[in-house]
Amino acid sequence: MKNIRNFCIIAHIDHGKSTLADRLLDATGTVTSREKQAQLLDSMDLERERGITIKSHAIQMEYTFEGENYILNLIDTPGHVDFSYEVSRSIAACEGALLIVDAAQSIQAQTISNLYLALENDLEIIPVLNKVDLPSANVEEVTDDIVDLLGCSPDEVIPASAKTGIGIEEILHAIIARVPPPKGNADQPLQALIFDSVYNPFRGVETYFRVLNGEIRKGQHIKFMATGKSYFADEVGTLKLKQAPKDVIKTGDVGYLITGIKEAKEVKVGDTITDSKTPTTNMIEGFEDVKPMVFAGIYPVDTEDYEELRNSMEKLQLNDASLVFQPESSAALGFGFRCGFLGMLHLEIIQERLEREFDMTVITTVPNVSYQAYTHKNPDTVILVNNPSDLPEPSSLNRVEEPYIKATIITKSDFVGNVMSLCIEKRGEITNQTYLTTERVELSFDMPLAEIVFDFYDRLKTVSKGYASFDYSPIGMRASHLVKVDVLLNGNIVDALSALLHKDNAYDIGKKMCEKLRQLIPRQQFDIPIQAAIGAKIISRETVKALRKDVTAKCYGGDISRKRKLLEKQKKGKKRMRQVGNVEIPQEAFMAVLKLND
C-alpha cells in the first residue's frame, strides 16, 4: 500500500488538464504509440470537439522511481462549474491533487473553487504552472499569484508544458515524494467509495470505486449502502486504458466493478460499497443526491415520436446519472418531458447528444429554476414549482421562495464597474471584494439562480471582454416577490412561454417578449395580437399585421363604390377568419426569450 499514489488533476476549463494527463501516460509507458491520440481520456466525440471534459476519467499508471515500482491512480476531472459535484467525489477518492494554472491566463474562479474543495478534503496540493512555452506566458507573475494563493514557496511550483513535455518527470517525482500513500486498514470490513459510473450496453453499469478499508474480491456478495441493494461482484479489476480484471482489489487502490446492474439509478456517485455479510457501520461522508439546478421542457417536434424520445432519454440517463426527467404535457407542444439539468452547459450537451446519438430533433422550452411556494391555508407545507403552470392561484399564495447562489467572479480591475452593474441589474448583492493582485479582483455576490440561467454568462464575457471567470455554489432559498407572466397569442395562453419573474422586472421583460415574438411569428391572413399578462391584467401588446390579397387589382377605372364593395366583402371574410385562426410558432420563438438583450 505504501507504493500506491492516488491523485486527481484540477483546473479551470481549458488550462490543459487533459493534455497533461496524456503526457503523464506517455512518460509512464501506459499507452503504446499506436494508441496515442490527443486528449486520450476524453473519449466522447462532444468532448473532443468542444475541447472540454464532461465526465471524470480514471486510469492506472505504473512508474519506477529510484528502483521501486509505484502504482499511480490518476483521475482527470471536468473543469466546468456545472459538474462540480463529480469533481468533489473524485477529490474525496484521492490523497493529492495537481493544481494546474495556465501561465498565460493566471488563476481563474474555477481554479479557486476546486482548490477549496481539495483543501477541505486535506489533499496535498502540487501546483503546476502549465503552458510556460507560450510567448504570452507570464511565468514570474503567475508564480507569485500561486504562492499568494497557496502560501507555498516559489520552488514548489513546477513549471511545465504539457504540449512540449517540459517538467513531466518533475511532476511524477513530486507526486511520489509529496502525495501521501493511502491510509486504511486491510483487516476492517470492506468500505469503498463510488466516484463514477459508466454504462456499457453489453455488461450493464460499470462502477468505479476507491477502497478505503478492507478489500473487494471477485464473486463477493456486496451491498450499496445508499440504496440498500445487494449484488455479486461478477468482475473486479484495475483501470488501465483497457480494463484489467483482477481477483482482488486491496485497501487504497482504485478499480472498477461489474455486477450486471442495468438501471443507472441504482448506482449513485458518492455511495459506499460494503460486504453484505459483515457490513461496515459507517458510511463515507459527503454523499448527496445530485440536485438539478435548471429545468426545461424537451418535446419531440412530432408528437408521434414521444415513445422514441422516452427510450432515447432513458438510454442517455444510463450514461449521465445527473439527468432527471418526468413526463409532462403542454397545450401548445403536446406530450414531452420536464428535465432537470446541472446548468446551461449540461442542457446544451444533452440536447446535442439527443440529436447526434439518437437522431431526435427536439424543441426545448425556456429554462427555469425550481421554486418553493407556500399557501395561506398551509403555510408550512412546501409546494415545489418546477414549471410556472404549477404555481398556485395568486390570491391563495402566502410567499414564494427562490434558490440563491453565491457567485464568485474574478476579473481585471478595469472591468469592475461593468461587472458590478451587470450583477446589480440581475438583482445581485455584493458581499465581498478582494484585490488578488493590483490587476485582478475577486468579487462575491449573492444572486438569485434564476437570473444567471439565461444569458448571464454570455453577457459577463461581453462586458469584461472575455477576462472574467465565473463560479457559483448554492446557498439556499430566500423569499422573493415573484409573479407569473403569461404570453397570449390570439387570445390563447401559450403555456410553454410562461415565466416566473420578479415583480420589478416583469413589465420590461413582458414588453421585450412581445416585441421579439412579433418579429418571429410569420404573418397570417388575419391580425394576431401578442399580449403579455400578469393574471388578468394585460401589461403589453403587439400586433402581427395581416397579409392582404389585393382584391381591387381587377377594378381598373370606374366608380369607387365598386372597389369599396370588394373591400367590404374581404373585410367580412377576414372577420370570419380571425375567429378560427390558429397560429404556428417557430422553434426560434421559444428560445428567443433567452436572448432578449440582443
How far apart are the C-alpha atoms of 158 and 180, rounded to whole Å? 18
> What DSSP string describes 114-135?
HHHHHHHTTPEEEEEEE-TTST
Residue 132 assigned to a binding site: yes
How far apart are the C-alpha atoms of 350 and 319, rounded to whole Å? 11
CA-CA-CA-CA torsion sign (169, 173, 179, 185): positive
Contact 87, 80 (CB under 8 A): no
From the number of C-beta atoms within 10 Å of its C-beta (0-12, 13-18, 19+), residue 144 rates as middle
Residue 18 assigned to a binding site: yes
Contact 332, 494 (CB under 8 A): yes
Contact 422, 432 (CB under 8 A): no
Residue 131 assigned to a binding site: yes
How far apart are the C-alpha atoms of 96 and 87, rounded to whole Å? 13
At a CB cut-off of 8 Å and minimum separation 6, what does 352 contact?
46
Residue 16 assigned to a binding site: yes
How far apart are the C-alpha atoms of 233 and 218, rounded to whole Å? 5
> What DSSP string describes 145-157?
HHHHHH---GGGS
Closest residue by Cα to residue 99 from 81, 83, 120, 77: 77
Contact 496, 333 (CB under 8 A): yes
Residue 229 assigned to a binding site: no
Residue 133 assigned to a binding site: yes
> What DSSP string describes 40-96?
TT--SHHHHHHT---S-EEEEEEEEETTEEEEEEEEE---SGGGHHHHHHHHHT-SE
Closest residue by Cα to residue 31 from 61, 69, 70: 61
Q: What is the dihedral of CA 425, 431, 437, 441, to 10 degrees?
A: -10
- 3-class state of residue 222 by DSSP: strand
* 354 φ/ψ sector (left φ>0, alpha ψ -120 to 50, else beta): alpha
- 3-class state of residue 537 by DSSP: strand
Residue 130 assigned to a binding site: yes
At a CB cut-off of 8 Å and minimum separation 6, what does 350 contact?
298, 316, 320, 323, 339, 341
Residue 204 assigned to a binding site: no
CA-CA-CA-CA torsion sign (54, 58, 64, 65): positive
Q: Which residues are annotated as a binding site?
A: 14-19, 130-133
Q: Which residues are annotated as a binding site for GTP?
A: 14-19, 130-133
